[in-house]
């Protein structure tokens, strides 16, 4: 008998993972503060009037953020304004890991950036730099104390105000 055939029944009878709790963004509290505006090129701003309005909307000192709840969740949200981005604050315990990924909506039109409070990368952050259509960023806390990290869901098209999307936040 072929050895790999013995593992087939075990694969067939595994119980599916429990679905994540779905939370509407309108039900999330605002974070005490948001991250500073990251210094990344804006892929959605063109040279027209709409692109100029988007650049102006991104000039603020920080991005308002929503506080994510404890545990793994799925957040249903929409792009709130012409700036084209939405920030989420998450507390990551010492040694903890978190992955944030857009899973519903026009995924290829989004990117996810992980930043610290200053809008910069820090050790433990991993960005998806190769455009693969899977907008995702992860963080692994290398320190012995908790860190607040911000994940920014950014749009790659200037005309996405009101665009609905869902983000999975997986903690481990």
Topology, domain 19-171: Jelly Rolls (2.60.120)
Predicted confidence (pLDDT) per residue in 125-167, tens digit? 887 766 677 899 999 999 889 999 999 999 988 888 889 999 9
Checking if the pLDDT of 12 tops 50, the result is no
Place of tokens 């500073």: 36
Break the chain into its structural domains and give their ranges: 19-171
Predicted confidence (pLDDT) per residue in 73-109, tens digit? 999 999 999 888 999 999 999 999 999 999 998 888 8
Residue 56's pLDDT band (cuts 50, 70, 90): confident
> Chain-centre distance of CA 94, in angstroms?
20
pLDDT of 3: 54
In the sheet with 73-78, reading across from the earlier edge strand, the strands are 21-24, 73-78, 164-171, 97-104, 136-140, 125-127
The pTM of the full predicted model, rounded to 2 decimals, is 0.85
């Amino acid at each position: 008998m072929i050895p790999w055939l013995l593992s087939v029944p075990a694969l067939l009878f595994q119980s599916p993972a429990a679905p994540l709790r779905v939370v509407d963004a309108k039900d999330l509290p605002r974070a005490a503060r948001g991250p500073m505006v990251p210094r990344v090129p804006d892929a959605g701003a063109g040279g027209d009037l709409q692109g100029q309005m988007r650049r102006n909307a991104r000039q603020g000192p920080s991005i308002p953020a929503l506080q994510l709840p404890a545990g793994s969740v799925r957040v249903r949200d929409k792009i709130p304004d012409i700036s084209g981005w939405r920030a989420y604050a998450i507390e990551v315990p010492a040694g903890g890991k978190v992955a944030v990924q857009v899973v519903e909506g026009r995924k290829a039109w989004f990117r996810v950036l992980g930043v610290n409070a200053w809008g910069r990368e820090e050790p433990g952050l991993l960005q998806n730099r190769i455009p693969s259509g899977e907008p995702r960023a992860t963080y692994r806390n290398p320190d012995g104390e908790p860190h607040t990290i911000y994940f920014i869901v950014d749009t790659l098209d200037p005309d996405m105000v009101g665009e609905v999307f869902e983000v999975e936040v997986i903690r481990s």
